[in-house]
Amino acid sequence: MVQAPSRRDRLRAATTQEIIQTARRLLVTEGPEAASLRAIAREMGMTAPALYRYFGSHEDLLRHVVGDIFTDLAGYVDAAIHAAADAAPPGTDPDEVWAVKLIAAARAFRAWTLAHVPEFSLIFGSPLPGLEALHEVAVDPTIDCGYKFGRLFLDLFSELYRCRPFPIPADDQIDPSLRDQLARYRNLIGSKLPLGALQTFLRCWVLLYGTVSLEVFGHLQFALDDPAPMFELMLSDLAPLVGLESPARSR
């Protein structure tokens, strides 16, 4: 009973994407509160209720914007990963390329964030609107753009551990409660990493997220005008966690 999408469907799908793009553009250029249904519709030469043909509510639309942003971010990080691999000198130890990629991914995450502060606030900020705007998109496996984004780092991390295992805590060294949760998480993502490696992965994510969000939300401004060096410092904290001695070479 599957039938090819009619011309109408294709048109409509195109419009859906247009609405999302318009909403995102307004959100970025005019601020979050300017991305009202009416403003978006106005921008598209429509009226606000028309948008209810495409989205169930204003929040639903924003959810799709979040998904769009997530795939955008993932694409950027992914591109940076490949660029880093291509830029590696020919003689480089192939195992070390994974480490280079991981550092590049972290830097790309920060770079994208700094260039897309409003977007970052929407997808990684406090879930002010209704607590679930981000959450559902990030977790729901059907619209799981956030999941794909995390996967990007996890795969890199896995390959790095596979090729060049770094010291991780043994299972019985992990807090029992944490161990159980890590086992469940590993099962969920179908990974074969040791639990200790997953713990280290999450520690890295805490460091990365904390540093970047602290910087972009301005909660470091009480001390620093330019938190960039703090990010590099964080990288040099992160490096030994994954068995790297020199944090990174180029900046």
Partner DNA sequence: CGCTTGAGTGAACGCTGTAAAGCTTCAAAA
Partner DNA sequence: TTTTGAAGCTTTACAGCGTTCACTCAAGCG
Q: Quote the distance between the C-alpha of residue 136 and its chain's center.
A: 14
- 222, amino acid identity: F
b/e burial code for range 163-193 (CB count within 10 A of at least 16 → b)? eeeeebeeeeebeeeebebbeeebeeeebeb
Candidates 11, 14, 83, 228; binder of a copy of itself (CB under 8 A) is 228
Q: Which does 167 bind (CB under 5 to 8 A by kind): DNA, a copy of itself, none?
A: none
Q: Copy the structure tokens of residue 201.
A: 């992965």
CB of residue 125 to DNA, shortest distance in Å: 18
Count CB atoms within 10 A of the CB of residue 211: 23
Residues that bind DNA (CB under 7 A): 6-8, 11-12, 15, 34-39, 41, 45-50, 52-54, 57-59
**Which one-letter DSSP state was computed for residue 32?**
G
Q: Does 135 bind a copy of itself (CB under 8 A)?
A: yes
Q: Does 234 bind a copy of itself (CB under 8 A)?
A: yes
Q: Which does 82 bind (CB under 5 to 8 A by kind): a copy of itself, DNA, none?
A: none
Q: Does 139 bind a copy of itself (CB under 8 A)?
A: yes
Say what angle helices 145-163 and 58-87 make with each other, to 10 degrees. 30
Binding positions for a copy of itself, rule: CB under 8 A:
31-33, 121, 124-131, 134-135, 138-139, 146-147, 150, 175, 177-178, 181-182, 185, 198-199, 202-203, 205-207, 209-211, 213-214, 217-226, 228-230, 232-234, 237
